[in-house]
Amino acid sequence: MNVTIVDYQSGNISSVINSFTEVAKGKVNIEVTSDINKIRSCDKIILPGQGSFKSCVDSLNQIKGLVDTLKEFAIINKKPLLGICVGLQMFADIGYEEAETKGLGWISGKVSKIDNQQGKFKLPHIGWNEIEIQKKSKIFKDIKNKSHMYFVHSYEFIPKDKSVISATADYSSKKIVCAVEKDNLFGTQFHPEKSDKIGLKIIDNFLKL
């Protein structure tokens, strides 16, 4: 099985590469590339994202054919794709970080700044926070509810269809979305690659889909 981590210059993704390589243990071929043909022919994709929504979308668009290839892979051919942090946020129709920016439009919704209650909650939301699993999810197999995951973000994905939400976390006046699952699309706002053994289990679950 060939799994591709999409490298589109969206910040340091070494921890993503290291974690997936560790879990794969040589049984799964992990490739880091922005090569359109390799992405098209692989079995699963990881779409990481660090930095702002706008900078990540701009970086995707700078690689000719990449957005169309990702759409073909995930939406038309319905192969498994995992978005991490801004990688998840880009599933949305639109984001409002830096400037109003069009997203990939794979899961209808928007990316807005977390309501920090006029400074009551610090932004960015950094560190460990427990998650509440909202529905049975393939990537949360054998993960206990209220497990702690590692977060670094100031913006949150707000999907129109609440049934796609697979986990939430308490931060701000309401629960923020921290994981989604819709058919073959999976996304985590937290960083599984920085979430110790539980995060590695999530990675393992995705690789075993």
Does residue 85 have an active-site annotation?
yes
Q: Which of the residues 42, 85, 125, 178 is marked catalytic?
A: 85
Surface-to-core class of residue 160, CB atoms within 10 Å of its CB (0-12 exposed, 13-18 middle, 19+ buried): exposed
Does residue 191 have an active-site annotation?
yes
Q: 6, 34 in Cβ contact below 8 A? A: yes
Does residue 72 have an active-site annotation?
no
Tokens read off for 24: 């794969």
Q: 198, 139 in Cβ contact below 8 A? A: no
Tokens read off for 132: 């509440």
List the catalytic residues. Answer: 85, 191, 193
